[in-house]
Amino acid sequence: MARLSPIALNVRGVGVVIRSVEPGDAAAQLRFARELFATSAYTLTTLGEFTMTEDEERAFIAGALDDPGTVFMDALVSGEIVASLHLAAGKRKKIGHQALLGMGVAAGWRGRGIGRAILETAVGWARAHPVLEMVTLGVYEENEPAVRLYGSLGFVVYGRLPGALRHEDGTTHTNLDMYLRVKP
């Protein structure tokens, strides 16, 4: 991907910078991921199974930077990562026009407009991409704030799978598959 030039925004009175993740961000990215996995029931990865090392994270970031169909970005407040988003196009010819999105917002920043800001930035990137036509994602049905956010930007539910997600306590949860066409 081409590196995003940093974008400075005012989000509800808070200065936010959205920019590409760089290999030098690996340690901070790991801290953010661990905090996210520890504070959100709505991630596919649990804290206990997250074993990525700093070298592995650095390589993952470098791979994203080298892939023209991928964007990996953070939202920062005073230099601290408060949200992260990864959007990657399919690697096969038949699915290269669609990208899968994953994102997370730090616990103390949820519901404060940061998720919308980083998601709008990613959707804008996808709209400008020469190949991408749609963005897809999966979300817990009961994560109503996220479902509302995606819907407000035009994402549409195209699938609902009860019991798709199983937690360590044995409870199951419904996954919603959503998509957004970024080109007609």
pLDDT in tens, 45-66: 999 999 999 999 999 999 999 9
Contact 137, 155 (CB under 8 A): yes
What is the spatial distance between Cα 126 and Cα 132, in angstroms, rounded to a whole number? 6
Beta strands, E only, the chain: 7-11, 14-20, 70-77, 80-89, 98-105, 134-140, 156-166, 172-181
Q: Would you say 174 and 158 are in contact if contact means Cβ atoms under 8 Å apart?
A: no
- Measure the CA dihedral 164/167/173/176, to 10°: -60
Enumerate the domain spans of the chain: 7-181
Q: Are the C-beta atoms of 163 and 174 separated by less than 8 Å? A: yes
pLDDT at 184: 86
Distinct helix (H) and strand (E) counts, the chain? 4, 8
The domain over range 7-181 is classified in CATH as 3.20.20.70: no
Per-residue pLDDT 10s for the chain (184 aa) are 568 899 999 999 999 999 999 999 999 999 999 999 999 999 999 999 999 999 999 999 999 999 999 999 999 999 999 999 999 999 999 999 999 999 999 999 999 999 999 999 999 999 999 999 999 999 999 999 999 999 999 999 999 999 999 999 999 999 999 999 999 8
What's the whole-model pTM score?
A: 0.96
Task: Report the largest interatomic distance among the alpha carbons of the chain, rounded to a whole angstrom.
Answer: 44
CA angle 49, 51, 56 (to 5 degrees): 145
Beta strand pairing call for 134-140 and 98-105: parallel
